[in-house]
Amino acid sequence: MEKASKQLIMPNKDCIDLIMQFEGFEAKAYKCPAGVWTIGYGRTDGVKEGMTTTKDKEAAYLQAKAYEIAVEIQDKLKDVPSQGQINALTSFAYNLGVGALTSSTLFKKHLAGDFATAQNEFTKWNKARVNGELKVLDGLTRRRKFEAIMYGH
Q: Identify the DSSP state of 56.
A: H
Q: Identify the DSSP state of 132.
A: T
Q: Which of 2, 23, 49, 121 is catalytic?
A: 23
Residue 60's SS3 state is: helix
Examine the residue annotation and report whether 58 is marked as an active-site residue of this protein: no
Residue 133's SS3 state is: strand
Number of residues that this document lists for the chain = 153
The 10 Å Cβ neighbour count of residue 137 is 14
Q: Phi and psi dihedrals of 108, rounded to 5?
A: -60, -40
| CA 135 to the chain's CA centroid | 19
Among positive and negative, which fits the CA dihedral 76, 69, 142, 152? negative
* Residues carrying an active site annotation: 23
